Amino acid sequence: MSKKIFVTDTILRDAHQSLIATRMRLEDMLPICEKLDRVGYWSLEVWGGATFDACVRFLKEDPWERLRQLRAALPNTRLQMLLRGQNLLGYRHYSDDVVKAFVAKAAVNGIDVFRIFDAMNDVRNLRVAIEAVKAAGKHAQGTLCYTTSPVHTIDAFVAQAKQMEAMGCDSVAIKDMAGLLTPYATGELVKALKAEQSLPVFIHSHDTAGLAAMCQLKAIENGADHIDTAISAFAWGTSHPGTESMVAALKGSEYDTGLDLELLQEIGLYFYAVRKKYHQFESEFTAVDTRVQVNQVPGGMMSNLANQLKEQGALHRINEVFEEIPKVRADLGFPPLVTPTSQIVGTQAVFNVLAGERYKTITNEVKLYLQGRYGKAPGKVNEHLRFRAIGSEEVIEGRPADLLKPEMAKLRTEIGALAKSEEDVLTYAMFPDIGRKFLEERAAGTLTPEVLLPIPDGSQTAVSGEGVPTEFVIDVHGESYRVDITGVGVKTDGKRHFYLSIDGMPEEVVFEPLNAFVGGGAGGKRKHASAPGDVSTSMPGNIVDVLVKEGDVVKVGQPVLITEAMKMETEVQAPIAGTVKAVHVAKGDRVNPGEVLIEIEG
Ligand code: MN
């Protein structure tokens, strides 16, 4: 008896997300679509939170327009997207009316298959999205975010799959975002799923630890129906098993995919050339790394952490952070590590390491998590930590979105005439800051994609001028800036002046021995905190809000500042009770650890 295995290729979404920071542009997809459409894939994964984000933030492509063009270029293939349940493509829970509007528009613009997951595996956060997909007449795929912990047993996963089946899902996916699956564990899980529920089983496994192809084979032998692969030019490592390899592996067996290996190889050659164009986005963390089997940190999270630590000048402490992550995860009741829980756990772990004391600073996101605002934790949370974070505040037991009022009307008003369509309103809803910026730039005709650096062999020059590039796009705390170096001054008194323009505005930077500060800003350096009433932070970051002014009387522990570091906001509290003597910061200021930001007199 033979059983055809169906293939989803992730080349247009997860493959480039995993290997080149989601930077592939539509112009590099369209020329190969005719061939991709001829392959006979069950589906092509084309859209998700990161692709949407990168389109708006860096590539200055309208993600909806990308979807429509792919739809037109791939008339015979199902298009698939990854949806973060009630979070849609964003980082917070949306009200139900936004979820319904988003799913309806994604369906109209071309999505056929919605893979829906919740980072906590709390199925209550999937329900409205599943219903919306079914209302649009599309395929709803329920997702098991795979992880290992004392509470993530086969029985627990089977129970979740049955719940998703009862909610109307058409299939179930095992989403192994970190590459934690091992071949025999996969076999056991798939066997149980096939025995206990009736939905087709998809297997999405990252090859981070070099095990994904073996996992897929064991899954297939135990009854799995679909596999996710990536065309070889963007396969393996933190991506997926190579499409050509899996097709070859199954060829002639009872599990033959029926796909044309020669056609796939032509497509593979095309993408080998494309990948070179994006060399500047190749992360050093994309190769096989078996450490995930110990520290459970997904590949994407590893490169994010490395970037965050680099920004803090603390890259050498990455191994301490890797050790801290499982401890934070245990304190939070073992959430799977996937957007947004990976950021929540990862950033708290960084704070715990860099502050020299665990939970000295607790991020607002961890507080919200401990209030139940992301859903129910898979296991028990550390109650001491919960008390420390939120005191005796109420913990939400119900579905978090039940607390949200309808938002679409408000969003439409907020974005106003900048939105030319309901899709634009949804772009703004997903990414309020960069979405608005995108719509403003589009209206002004100033949309400019980030610059691609020349390919090292010199065969392509994307930057104006010859030789060394003098134009860069840098990313600081999620905002990108175009930097153009216009001149370098003579070194005097050990200082050197650099002249640049940032987003067209002239700036001067002075580098001093061992230290640097950006000229033109307020007042140079702040003094070092030493008195008990000196308020400082443990991390470099930006001031989001100043909550007190000179003369205010504050209690010990009262929040006086909100800072932002690594995209996470934290409150800084008064170290002593007293009167605010001086405030040395304003909203938007960049601050460094140990600096006196506010002085309080006891
Ligand atoms: Mn993935």
Calculate how far, in angstroms, residue 363's C-alpha sits from the geometric centre of ligand 1: 26
Mean pLDDT of 9-19: 95
- Given 462, 480, 511, the domain boundary residue is 511
On the question of pLDDT at 524 being above 80, the answer is no
Q: 122-126, 255-259, 593-597: which range is least confident on average?
A: 593-597
Cα distances (angstroms) measured from residue 520 to each of 65, 292, 502, 506, 543: 40, 44, 13, 10, 18
Whether 239 is in a domain gets the answer yes
Say which residues have a Cβ less than 8 Å from residue 596's Cβ, sequence separation at least 6. 526, 527, 528, 529, 534, 535, 536, 584
Out of 56-65, 157-166, 241-250, 297-306, least confident range: 297-306
Residue 185 lies inside a defined structural domain of this protein: yes
The backbone torsions φ and ψ at residue 94, rounded to the nearest 5 degrees and listed phi first, read: -100, 160
Mean pLDDT, all residues of the chain: 89
What is the pLDDT at residue 30? 98
Is the same domain home to 488 and 580?
no
Say if 358 falls within a structural domain: yes
Based on the domain organization, do 262 and 143 belong to the same domain?
yes
Asked if the model's pLDDT at residue 519 lies above 50, the reply is: no
Helix (H) or strand (E) holding 244: helix 243-250
Q: Which residue shows structure tokens 């086969």?
A: 154
CA of 401 to the centre of ligand 1 (A): 25
Enter the DSSP assignment of 13.
T
The single residue listed with the structure tokens 């601050």 is: 591
Q: Is 452 a domain residue?
A: no
Report how far ligand 1's centroid is from the alpha carbon of 215 (Å).
Answer: 15
Q: Please indicate, yes or no, whether residues 233 and 113 belong to a single structural domain of this protein.
A: yes
Which pLDDT score is estimated for 312?
Answer: 81
**Per-residue model confidence (pLDDT) at position 486:** 64
6-9 and 43-47 strand pairing: parallel
Both 205 and 271 in one domain: the answer is yes
Phi, psi of 388, deg, nearest 5:
-60, -35
Q: Report helix, strand and coil shares of the chain as percent, to nearest 5.
A: 40, 20, 40
Residue 292 is assigned to a structural domain of this protein:
no
- Residue 4 C-alpha to ligand 1 middle, in angstroms? 23
Ligand 1 centroid vs 341 CA: distance in angstroms?
A: 15
CATH number at residue 250: 3.20.20.70
Ligand 1 centroid–CA 175 distance in Å is 7
At 512 the pLDDT is: 52
Closest CA to 360 of 529, 593, 151: 593
CATH number at residue 310: 1.10.472.90
d(CA 574, CA 600): 8
Q: Is the pLDDT of residue 201 over 50?
A: yes
- Given a cut of 60, whether residue 490 has pLDDT beyond it is no
Provide the token pair at 598.
């506010």
Instruction: State whether 343 and 394 are in the same domain.
Output: yes
Q: How far is CA 35 from CA 5, 32, 38, 263, in A?
A: 20, 6, 5, 7
Q: How confident is the model at residue 594 (pLDDT cuts 50, 70, 90)?
A: confident
Between CA 366 and CA 53 the distance in angstroms is 23
Residue 569 belongs to domain with CATH number: 2.40.50.100
Q: Please check whether residue 456 lies inside any domain of the structure.
A: no
Verify that 25 and 128 share a domain, yes or no.
Answer: yes
Tell me the CA–centroid distance for residue 164 and ligand 1, in Å. 20
- Which residue, of 350, 370, 402, is where some domain finishes? 402
Structural domain contains residue 450: no
* Residues 325 and 250 grouped into a single domain: no
pLDDT at 110 over 70: yes
Residues 303, 258 share a domain: no
Cα(243) to centroid(ligand 1), Å: 15
477 pLDDT band, cuts 50/70/90, is low
Cα-to-centroid distance, 136 and ligand 1 (Å): 25
- Output the CA 205–ligand 1 centroid distance in Å: 7
562 Cα–ligand 1 center, Å: 33
Closest CA to 447 of 439, 459, 456, 455: 439
pLDDT of residue 523 exceeding 50, the answer is no
Question: What average pLDDT does this structure show over 297-323?
Answer: 82
Count other C-beta atoms under 10 Å from residue 509's C-beta: 17
Same domain, residue pair 198 and 65? yes
> Which pLDDT band, with edges at 50, 70 and 90, does 456 fall under?
confident
Does position 297 have pLDDT exceeding 50, yes or no? yes
Per-residue pLDDT, 115: 98
Number of domains comprising the chain: 4
Task: For 343-402, give the secondary structure using H, E and C.
Answer: HHHHHHHHHHHHCCCCCCCCCHHHHHHHCCCCCCCCCCCCHHHHHHHHCCCCCCCCCHHH
Task: Tell me the residue length of the chain.
Answer: 602
Backbone angles phi, psi at 384, to 5 degrees: -65, -45
CA of 420 to the centre of ligand 1 (A): 32
Q: Which pLDDT score is estimated for 256?
A: 98
Question: Which of 422, 377, 427, 383 lies closest to 125, judged by CA?
Answer: 377
Find the mean pLDDT for residues 73-78.
98
Highest mean pLDDT among 203-217, 300-314, 519-533, 566-580: 203-217
Instruction: For residue 414, tell me if it sits in a domain.
Output: no
**Pair 304, 274 in one domain:** no
**Peptide bond preceding 449 in cis form (omega within 30 of 0):** no
Give kind and range of the element (H or E) at residue 78: strand 78-83
Same domain, 277 and 183: yes
Q: Do 317 and 182 reside in the same domain of the chain?
A: no
Note down the domain range covering 315.
297-402
Q: What is the pLDDT of residues 226-245, one digit of tens each?
A: 999 999 999 999 899 999 99
Q: What is the pLDDT of residue 408?
A: 98
Phi, psi of 474 (to 5 degrees): -115, 155
Ligand 1 center–CA 173 separation, angstroms: 11
Out of 247, 281, 315, a domain closes at: 281
